[in-house]
Amino acid sequence: MIIQADKEKILEEFLEKYVVDRWVNKFLEIDEMYKSDKDDIEKNLISAFDEVCRKAICLQGKQLKGEIKYIYFSLLRTSILENRGEYRVDLYDEDWFLDKEECSINIDLNFIFDSIFKQREELKEKKKVYGKNITDMDIENVMLKEIDKYHILAVEFLKGMIGKFIETSSYGEMKKTEDIMILAGEYMDATEAIYPEKE
């Protein structure tokens, strides 16, 4: 039987050896990947944003949705756990989460999350050396914590894309409130305003 203190020590050693500060180099790799595929990445994201705004215009035309007050980019942890770097974009009227007409699209941010998917597979291989001391559940818990760093990077990236999103013709045509807010966060959880920028 594994004594809890021993397990914690073994896990700590494992993390130190294979996880701690690895994200720094991964972020450099992500930056390189982004630079090499920048046009395609941005084109796909702008196209998806344009599509969700068109959905809102259609719903507004049918009197099913009011002026858009909130645009919410949310991390989908379940997708990340399934090796898909997806965020959901929801457009809400003033009723926000109580807005009955769903208007959403998933966007692909795999270029940010690919390295964490690879890291998970590497860790599953490395844990074999530790026998039953480190489980798949331990690896999943480590990954859930690591995802937070990548989420911060994704939010910063989305902040940089806002200018391009709001230049789309569909965003211009869509009925929206004067105090529209664009937010990023976890699905139906804590959010951060990313537009308009705070003074």
pLDDT at 5: 53
3-state SS string for 66-111: CCEEEEEEEECHHHHHCCCCEEEEEEECCCHHHCCCCCEEEEECHH
pLDDT at 105: 97
Q: What is the distance between the alpha carbons of residues 86 and 88, in angstroms, rounded to a whole number?
A: 7
pLDDT at 90: 96
pLDDT at 145: 87
pLDDT, tens digit, 9 for 90 and up, residues 29-43: 999 999 999 999 999
pLDDT at 2: 47
Q: How many CB atoms lie under 10 A from the CB of residue 44?
A: 13
Residue 146 token pair: 């690591």
Residues in the chain with pLDDT values less than 70 = 1-5, 198-199
pLDDT at 57: 98
pLDDT at 88: 96
The domain segmentation of the chain, as residue ranges, is: 4-195
